[in-house]
Amino acid sequence: MAYPGGIMLDGKQLVYYTSCMKTKMKTIGSFEAKTHLSELIETVQKGNEFVITKRGKPVARLVPYTDYEAEYVIEDIIGQFDSIRKSVKGKTDIKEYINKGRKY
């Protein structure tokens, strides 16, 4: 039975849209994902995401790779700078710190 909006691979409808995670995501069974992994990877490289199911229950997500760690590090550093700025704003005299530093 074909479902509207599904994705066809090798003449078979393998991927179906479901209401996972508050948005419409493409869902594919684990056996079909294993069988057609190279095609799925090509589709993911274009920005698509899939939920892989086993016996009808979601078990994994196949999403495009991004370097999340680098994004979190940058956001953390910016947050630290902001907190430092807020803690010293109007309380210090930069020239005083420069003069103290020159003594040592």
Q: Could you count the other beta carbons within 10 Å of the beta carbon of residue 53?
A: 19
CA distance 12 to 42: 17
CA distance 70 to 80: 15
CA distance 50 to 35: 15
Question: pLDDT for 11-67, tens place per residue?
Answer: 565 555 554 444 457 899 999 999 999 999 999 999 899 999 999 999 999 998 877
Question: pLDDT for 64-86, tens place per residue?
Answer: 887 766 667 788 888 888 888 77
Per-residue pLDDT at 90: 67
Assess whether pLDDT exceeds 90 at residue 96: no
Assess whether pLDDT exceeds 50 at residue 2: no
Helix segments in the chain, DSSP class H: 30-35, 37-45, 68-88, 94-103
CA distance 41 to 63: 9
